[in-house]
């Protein structure tokens, strides 16, 4: 087994093969692929992944469940761009696992082709109505709740932007002014709702709109979908943690009165109610609760902070239109013990504020950790921002499939930690992270520290060319053909 980190270089590796570089062949551990796919099928999660139903006015002869299976594998393998899906389409074992007839698989591979053309998969995504994507997603949420794969009733909402160029060709995209960039930006805004369980992160809500859409409106769309397709929102969520972008008195009242859920959020710096909180603390002379915490940066360096937290009850928060809501608050001063830098934060909540106000602060701390990790992983590893089409329904379908695969693989990790970690270790050694150990035969070129993956038929063809080139070279050097064959055979490891 090769332990060094190798770089994926398809053309360089193939050229090195023919030119006679020393190579090592590795047949992927298909057992790991089988373990993941079989577990997903047994758990019922595979059915949710393959249940996204297209508009079947134009059929291509391939069952939608099978195309959905290919699509799911593409996302689980973290491929992102559909232009890079060909290796999966040429992996006979995986194509058979997702449902293609074995005879079709063999005949296509003999022709040196993928089981389907990538355009077939692209067109399949374009035929998925938004409603069907949404229904499939909430079927998965229902299954996760039924199997008790979701922990806790504290959730956070978060929106992220997907920017595009050539906005005229992207269906349903919007525009907004970006003061930091000093220009208009174009694209979409995606909203996700996720739980705050650190060891069991789950996405339970998704919405998509133009980039200028209000995130509060997107969040209400999610809550309405949960209520319609899964269960009453108050059965799913007790506490919803929101950042300043969701601030709004009428919005908070709707969450509390219509959906019966409590809120934890941050006060805007220019909010009059923040000044009221400071005044009440001074007037009542309350002593703060003191705690010390530590934070680690990406390098593992630890910084200590001192916190002073003071609870305040019944603060009247008034909107610009005069609408009011009573909320409780926690005023916190945080001191960086290394630099002495002091920051102040005012938390507002509809929850009762106990004598230990750190409970409210902890909710928001959980949001930062999960939000940063969730967003970063979805964007960088799962390629959620990579657009597969210019049609709105296809973009939404892609985001839904990524979220469903993310949920499914997280559950697989938790239920099968040993198998998942072994697979990750093999992937990290090759510079990629995926549950699928690779496609076909892997060819390593140790001297150049590069590798490629290809169908067995292509590998055999290149090895034949390599052998022929080696034989020709040896005979030109004066060696007899018999000696050249004896010297060449067995040299490829």
- What is the token pair recorded at 255? 């969450």
Q: What share of the chain is helix, strand, coil (3-state, %, to 5)?
A: 45, 20, 35
**How far is residue 198's CA from residue 154's CA, in Å, rounded to a whole number?**
11
416: helix, strand or coil: coil
**CATH top-level class for 150-381?**
alpha beta
Q: How many whole angstroms separate alpha carbon 68 and alpha carbon 219?
A: 27
Task: Scan for tokens 């374009």, then name that residue.
Answer: 126
The tens place of each residue's pLDDT in the chain, 493 residues long, gives 344 466 778 889 889 988 888 887 765 543 345 678 888 999 999 999 999 999 887 666 789 999 999 999 989 888 888 888 887 787 777 787 888 876 677 677 777 778 888 899 999 999 999 999 999 999 999 999 999 999 899 999 998 999 998 889 999 999 999 999 999 999 999 999 999 988 888 999 999 999 999 999 999 999 999 999 999 999 999 999 999 989 999 999 999 999 999 999 999 878 899 999 999 998 888 889 999 998 877 677 888 999 999 999 999 999 888 899 999 999 999 999 989 999 999 999 999 987 789 999 999 988 876 666 677 788 888 888 989 899 999 999 999 999 999 999 999 999 988 878 877 776 666 555 666 644 457 788 888 888 777 766 788 888 888 888 777 877 888 887 777 667 666 544 4
- 171 Cβ contact partners less than 8 Å away, ≥ 6 residues apart: 390, 391, 392
Domain range list for the chain:
1-27+440-493, 28-129+391-428, 150-381
Tell me the torsion sign for CA atoms 200, 206, 208, 212: negative
Say what the pTM is: 0.81
Tokens of 453: 């993956």
**DSSP character string of 354-405:** -S-THHHHHHHHHHHHHHHHHHHIIIIIS-TT--S-SSHHHHHHHHHHHHHH
Closest CA to 65 of 79, 51, 45, 55: 51
For residue 317, the cross-strand partners are 325
The whole-angstrom separation of Cα 464 and Cα 467 is: 5
């Amino acid at each position: 087994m090769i332990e060094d980190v190798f770089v994926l270089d398809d053309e360089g590796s193939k050229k090195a093969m023919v030119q006679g570089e020393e190579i090592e062949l590795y047949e992927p551990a298909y057992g790991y692929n089988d373990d993941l796919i079989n577990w997903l099928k047994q758990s019922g999660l595979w059915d949710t992944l393959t249940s996204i139903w297209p508009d079947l006015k134009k059929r291509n002869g391939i069952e939608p469940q099978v195309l959905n299976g290919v699509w799911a594998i593409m996302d689980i393998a973290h491929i992102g761009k559909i232009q890079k899906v060909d290796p999966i389409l040429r992996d006979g074992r995986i194509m058979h696992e997702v449902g293609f007839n074995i005879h079709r698989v063999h005949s296509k591979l003999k022709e040196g082709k993928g089981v389907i053309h990538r355009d077939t998969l692209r067109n399949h995504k374009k035929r998925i109505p938004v409603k069907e994507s949404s229904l499939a997603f909430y079927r998965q949420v229902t299954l996760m709740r039924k199997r008790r794969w979701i922990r806790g009733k504290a959730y956070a909402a978060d929106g992220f932007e997907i920017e595009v160029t050539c906005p005229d060709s992207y269906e349903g995209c919007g525009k907004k002014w970006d003061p930091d960039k000093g220009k208009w930006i174009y694209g979409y805004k995606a909203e996700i709702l996720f739980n705050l369980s650190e060891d069991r992160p789950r996405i339970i809500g998704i919405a998509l709109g133009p980039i200028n859409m209000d995130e509060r409106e997107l969040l209400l769309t999610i809550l309405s979908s949960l209520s319609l397709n899964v269960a009453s929102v108050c059965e799913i969520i007790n506490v919803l943690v929101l950042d300043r972008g969701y601030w709004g008195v009428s919005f908070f009242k709707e969450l509390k009165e219509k959906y019966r859920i409590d809120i934890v959020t941050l006060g805007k710096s220019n909010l009059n109610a923040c000044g009221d909180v400071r005044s009440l603390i001074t007037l009542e002379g309350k002593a703060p609760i003191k705690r010390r915490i530590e934070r680690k940066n990406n390098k593992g360096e630890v910084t200590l902070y001192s916190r002073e937290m003071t609870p305040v009850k019944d603060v009247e928060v008034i909107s610009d239109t005069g609408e009011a809501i009573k909320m409780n608050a926690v005023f916190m001063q945080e001191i960086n013990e290394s630099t002495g830098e002091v920051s102040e934060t005012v938390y507002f909540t509809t929850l009762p504020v106990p004598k230990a106000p750190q409970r409210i602060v902890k909710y928001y701390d959980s949001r930062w950790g999960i939000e940063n990790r969730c967003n970063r992983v979805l964007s960088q590893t799962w390629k959620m921002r990579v657009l597969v089409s210019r049609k709105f329904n296809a973009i939404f379908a892609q985001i839904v499939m990524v979220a469903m695969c993310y949920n499914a693989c997280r559950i697989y990790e938790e239920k099968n930690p040993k198998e998942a970690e072994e697979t990750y270790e093999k992937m990290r050694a090759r510079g990629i992270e995926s549950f699928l150990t690779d496609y076909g035969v892997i060819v390593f070129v140790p001297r150049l520290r590069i590798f490629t993956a290809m169908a067995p038929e292509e590998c055999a063809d290149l090895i034949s060319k390599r052998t022929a080139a080696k034989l020709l070279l040896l005979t030109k050097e004066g060696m007899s053909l018999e000696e050249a064959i004896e010297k060449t055979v067995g040299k490829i490891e």
